[in-house]
Structure 1
Amino acid sequence: MPDLSPIAERAEAPETLPEITAGELSWRAATVDDAQLVTDFNNAIAEAGDFPFRETVDEVRDELSAAWVDLSTQSMLGFDAEGRLRAAGFATTAPGDVRTVRAFVFGGVHPERRGEGIGRELLAWQVARARQLLAASGKELPARIAAYAEDTDAVRHRLLERAGFAARRFFADLKRPLGAGAPPIPEVELAGSLRLAPFSPELDDATRLAHNDAFRDHWGSEPQTLEQWQSGRSEFAPEWSHVVVDDAPDVDALLADERTDASTAEALRAGEPLVVAYAYNSRYEADFPVRGYSFGYTGLLGTRRAYRGRKAAIAALAASMRSFEDAGMEAAVLDVDTENPSGAHGLYASLGYVKEHGSRMYSIEL
């Protein structure tokens, strides 16, 4: 842990939030009942920016109803005189952060109302609110205010850079064809006591522990609480998702391994199943016409650090691709951090994945 001044000092949280006066909009906090309004607004931005996705009202409702989000103080919606939503801004935190405490800002301005200074003032409000959230966290950790942007969204890039954000991470959206004419899906044999299994609720928390372990050495990743892990699943496809279980783990060796985290150690002592790799997948049907093809999306893929090199994640991913193909999907899609320390980008290339789109994460480090 670096030698840091108290988070209350580093966050430089203002006592009051800046007003948003540009555009002569009327402002109020969002509610879960605004899910359809926010969905239509987000999709108008996505369409104007030629983004490779659209949102559903169920996805947005999941985001707005997250238990750790207080919309009354962490959101702002701006309406014009006709009552149309013209701008939206959110500033949120995540409860499970233990290495870096983070605040996320997202939202934007309707394409018809850009160029009036609304986005600049709204972002200033979001950053100020993010600073307040970080200061109030009481977590004496490195801190970050983060925002995301599609590579093609030059307007947002300029807005974030002018507000003091810097691009820190770059993500590649990868596609792998399926079906006739596509490369064959690899056959992967698991050795020893490793076993491929379909997703099941009984293995879900064990998979969360595997994910937290797999991503402990990934920049920007933080452990997920059970509440975080099980939220936002409106498009989740359990029938397409797979895990790898070690049916006879060397418990003594794992408990003695410094890489074994405390939560996993507790589960091992209790005799809980040990998930060592996983591929959790989703079906984003609203994106099919936008991309021009149907696909299965691998949103979460990883291997416990002690099990790397044993092809467990490849087995889960290959099983996922077969599930997609059996369901008539034309492609497999996933998103990867281009600086992933596990070398995943090269692995995906070897399996036939090719970059189609890109995005980046901007941040202010505190």
Structure 2
Amino acid sequence: MNPHEPLLQQIRAALPAGATLRPVVPRVDAAALVDLVNADAAHVGNPIRDSIDDMMEELTGSDIEVARDTLVAVAPDGTAIGFAFANRVTNPEKSRVFLFGRVHPAYQGRGIGRALLRWTKARAEEILDGHPGGTVQVQNFEGDARAIRLCESEGARAIRWFAEMVHTFANTREEIASPLPAGLRVVPYGEVDSEKLRLLHNHCFADHWGSSAMSEVTWHERMEAGSVRMAASEAVIDEHGTPVAYQISEEFPQDAETLGNLRWLATLGVHRDYRGKGLATHLIQR
């Protein structure tokens, strides 16, 4: 018997008649899942939108086993009613599982979200078995009061906040980037060895709260993401060609209608020996 069968029964009991509950099949469900995510985002005032490409990357990455780590509830007409994912980070030093889930606004208030959350939490605890000190984490949009209350009522507590800031170049006079220290120069990101950049990234974020070292596999997936704009990403190298700072830029065209044309400075890192020398400022100003 499936050890989670009682939790699955709770989800089924909350679903409308005719709905089915099963693991996600990426190529079958991606479009319906994106429609659900975007409908819920609009409902709570979140301007961030999802895309089929981004959803496919999430469902086919190395941090998820869709047959065991996902559930989707589907209405008879094919509409996604709700879903739940458990994404693992099995770094031995900071083992974590991130819970993701949504319920379509038309089906909220039935207990579906709570039942899905309980299932993913149980699945996360199963994944973390054998990883002492592992944590289960969930992220919510600040304006989604219902989701925040749900997570808090199930034992979660707020531990971290993110701020997203926008700089509008049209309203700013053109500036020349502050100079770099002698011996350093900026090169296109693609000209630097990817493995050296991975090691630099892990070094830069080793003392950053909540971050985990990226493996060769996860780094490759990160850099091959469709949102990454390699031509707009850069690295600072020393006289030996060793990277000491970098920035990765991304774009999400699906957000243009709600946010306008934005380019995200997604990741910015500076080697600890070079901090306080203006490298990050230089990369931002460029």
Normalization by structure 1: what TM-score? 0.72
The alpha carbon displacement at 1:282 in A equals 0.8
SS of the residue corresponding to residue 151 of structure 1 reads coil
Tell me the equivalent position of 1:101.
95
Is 1:149 aligned with 2:116?
no
Tell me the equivalent position of 2:251.
283
SS of the residue corresponding to residue 175 of structure 1 reads coil
Contact 1:196 1:315 in 2 (8 A): no
Looking at structure 2, the residues matched to 108 and 70 of structure 1 have their Cα atoms a distance apart, in angstroms, of 19
**Residue correspondence of structure 1 range 298-309 to structure 2 within 5 A:** 298-309=265-276
Tell me the equivalent position of 1:317.
284
Q: Deviations over 1:97-137 (max 9, x none)?
A: 232210010011000000000001010001000000000xx
Looking at structure 2, the residues matched to 90 and 174 of structure 1 have their Cα atoms a distance apart, in angstroms, of 28
SS of the residue corresponding to residue 200 of structure 1 reads helix
Looking at structure 2, the residues matched to 101 and 69 of structure 1 have their Cα atoms a distance apart, in angstroms, of 14
The alpha carbon displacement at 1:182 in A equals 1.1
Tell me the equivalent position of 2:34.
39
Tell me the equivalent position of 2:110.
116
Tell me the equivalent position of 2:59.
64
Q: 1:224 to 1:185 in 2, by over 3 A?
A: farther
Looking at structure 1, the residues matched to 176 and 276 of structure 2 have their Cα atoms a distance apart, in angstroms, of 16
Looking at structure 2, the residues matched to 201 and 231 of structure 1 have their Cα atoms a distance apart, in angstroms, of 18
Contact 1:214 1:304 in 2 (8 A): yes
Tell me the equivalent position of 1:125.
119
Aligned partner letter, 2:34? T
Looking at structure 2, the residues matched to 68 and 109 of structure 1 have their Cα atoms a distance apart, in angstroms, of 22
The alpha carbon displacement at 1:35 in A equals 1.7
Contact 1:194 1:244 in 2 (8 A): yes
Q: Deviations over 1:165-222 (max 9, x none)?
A: 000001101011103x314445221112211111106432222211111111111101
Contact 2:73 2:83 in 1 (8 A): yes
SS of the residue corresponding to residue 231 of structure 1 reads helix
Q: 1:172 to 1:215 in 2, by over 3 A?
A: same
Tell me the equivalent position of 2:156.
165
- Runs ≥4 in structure 1, deviation > 4 angstroms? none
Contact 2:86 2:99 in 1 (8 A): yes
Tell me the equivalent position of 2:190.
200
| Greater mean alpha carbon deviation, residues 301-310 or residues 201-210 | 201-210
The alpha carbon displacement at 1:92 in A equals 1.6
Looking at structure 2, the residues matched to 54 and 89 of structure 1 have their Cα atoms a distance apart, in angstroms, of 18
Contact 2:32 2:78 in 1 (8 A): no
Is 1:246 aligned with 2:242?
no
Aligned partner letter, 2:202? N
Superposition RMSD in Å: 1.7
Q: By percentage of residues, which structure has more strand?
A: 1
Contact 1:246 1:276 in 2 (8 A): yes
Contact 1:26 1:79 in 2 (8 A): yes
Looking at structure 1, the residues matched to 98 and 138 of structure 2 have their Cα atoms a distance apart, in angstroms, of 6
Q: Deviations over 1:280-309 (max 9, x none)?
A: 001111112101x31211110111111101
Stretches of structure 2 that go unaligned for 5 or more consecutive residues are: none
SS of the residue corresponding to residue 55 of structure 2 reads helix
Contact 1:29 1:76 in 2 (8 A): yes
Q: Deviations over 1:248-291 (max 9, x none)?
A: 4xxxxxxxxxxxxxxxxxxxxxxxx5211111001111112101
Tell me the equivalent position of 1:364.
none
More relative contact order, 1 or 2 (CA 8 Å, 6+ apart): 1
Contact 1:98 1:222 in 2 (8 A): no
